[in-house]
Amino acid sequence: MYESLSLDVADGLATVTLDRPPVNALSRGMQEELRAVAKEVSGRGDVDAVVFTGSERVFAAGADIKEMRQMPYAQMLTEARELQSAFTAVAEIPQPTVAAITGAALGGGMELALCCDRRIAAESARLGQPEILLGIIPGAGGTQRLARLVGPAVAKDLCLTGRTLTAAEALELRAVEEVVPDGQATARATEWARQFVGGPRMALRAVKEAVDRGIEVDLTTGLSIERALFAALFATEDREVGMQSFIDSGPGKADFLGR
């Protein structure tokens, strides 16, 4: 079904592997496949969490510059909208998501990782937003999601200089949440994702929605969003299961139904 990536679903986990040699350049075709796979996993009842990964050498090295080089301004007005919406589709996957940064994540590759809820990098991974070196700026969320993750000063520094971060530097700047030895990023990301299999599905989705929507608004509005989602969970079976299990056996022992 997919040409530039693969999707494997097993035991409640979906693993999306970017597969467009040699460097997983994010062509228009690959962007559309990211949109499609995001829609697919979002709607599957057998997926509780999603792992995004690439090859051991590269996660994704950014946009397909040869393809982009031919686009005039008028065309890019449309292409930029489609690019952002494809990445937003990944960011809006309701299940917990994690990027296993197995190698270089540059430009659009870093922007794709920013769409996930967590980023786990291999020690030799490299991250950056080098678009300024081409005379442009990030166009798939790099100036926006990055600023919300690491703060505006760090985001400006990375986007203004186009410098490349080591995994250790990215961890220090909070651009990734974890660094592991080479060869272990995908396994660690899968381990992290597995904790959500069989969990309270609607509550997990509510956490993502509350945080993602709340960070865009003032505190009073954010609390209103949280309140509505909190109350809505009292219509779920998992709320009944979880609370009864807590009363009977203490925390952490509920067998949730996912509804």
Q: Is the pLDDT of residue 123 over 90?
A: yes
Examine the residue annotation and report whether 131 is marked as an active-site residue of this protein.
yes
Selected catalytic residue, list 38, 61, 89, 111: 111
Report d(CA 108, CA 135) in Å as an integer. 15
Q: Is the pLDDT of residue 151 over 90?
A: yes
User: Is pLDDT of 95 > 90?
Assistant: yes
Q: pLDDT exceeding 90 applies to what percent of the chain?
A: 85
* Least confident among 45-54, 74-83, 98-107, 113-122: 74-83
Quick one: 53 exposed, middle or buried, by C-beta within 10 A (0-12, 13-18, 19+)? buried
User: Which candidate in 38, 61, 63, 193 is catalytic?
Assistant: 63
40 in catalytic set: no
The answer to whether 30 touches 177, Cβ cutoff 8 Å, is: no
CATH topology of domain 201-249: Lyase 2-enoyl-coa Hydratase; Chain  A, domain 2 (1.10.12)
Confidence band of 78 (pLDDT split at 50, 70, 90)? confident
One of 54, 62, 103, 108 is an active-site residue; which one? 108
Q: What is the pLDDT of residue 214?
A: 96
CATH fold, domain 5-194, is 2-enoyl-CoA Hydratase; Chain A, domain 1 (3.90.226)
Q: What is the pLDDT of residue 163?
A: 96
CA 103 from centroid of its chain's CA atoms? 16
Say if residues 103 and 54 touch (Cβ distance below 8 Å).
Answer: yes
Same fold, 5-194 and 201-249: no
Q: What percent of the chain has pLDDT over 70?
A: 100
pLDDT score of 62 more than 90: no
Model confidence at 40, pLDDT cuts 50, 70, 90, reads very high
Amino acid at 230: F
Question: Residue 69 has what pLDDT?
Answer: 81
Would residue 56 show up in a list of annotated catalytic residues for this protein?
Answer: no
Position 77 scores a pLDDT of 85
pLDDT beyond 90 at 32 = yes
State yes or no: is 214 an active-site residue. no
- pLDDT classification of 2: cutoffs 50, 70, 90: very high
Number of neighbouring beta carbons within 10 Å of residue 134: 14
Active-site residue identified among 131, 175, 189, 206: 131
The model's pLDDT over 202-227, given as tens digits with 9 standing for 90+, comes to: 999 999 999 999 999 999 999 999 99
Alpha helices, DSSP H, located in 25-163: 28-43, 65-69, 73-91, 108-114, 145-150, 152-161
Answer yes or no: is pLDDT of 63 > 80. no
Q: Where are the domains of the chain?
A: 5-194, 201-249
For 63, the 3-state DSSP assignment is strand
Query: Where would I find the H helices in 134-252?
Result: 145-150, 152-161, 167-172, 185-194, 201-214, 219-232, 237-249
